[in-house]
Structure 1
Amino acid sequence: MLQHPHQHQTPHIPEHTPRMPFPLPSPLTLKADRPPAPPTIHITPAAYPPYSRGV
């Protein structure tokens, strides 16, 4: 960690990590697209009544 302290100052290294900034937004976008997909089908009007009764 102390050997390459300059890396912390420059997290966007194009020659060392060309696709580093991509993985960050990629997982976020995938996670955001995946959760909404299943929930949308479960959030149907038929799912609302059962949930209210269960609570």
Structure 2
Amino acid sequence: DRLESQPADFYARVRQGYLTLARAEPGRFEVVDASRSLADVQSQIRSVLDRLFE
């Protein structure tokens, strides 16, 4: 697959682009640190969804 064959710096640039968008429009994007435990990630996602659907 073309995307899977991209070098690591490609993914770093894509990530930076998304982080830049998230900083510029914090009400539109939520950054989730998926390196944390599954329970922590689920908890953060639930909190975000709770805020959106209040």
Bigger fraction of residues in helix: 2
The answer to whether TM tops 0.5 is no
Q: Indicate the TM-score class for this superposition, using the shorter chain for normalisation.
A: 0.3 to 0.5
Larger radius of gyration: 1
TM-score w.r.t. the length of structure 2 is: 0.36
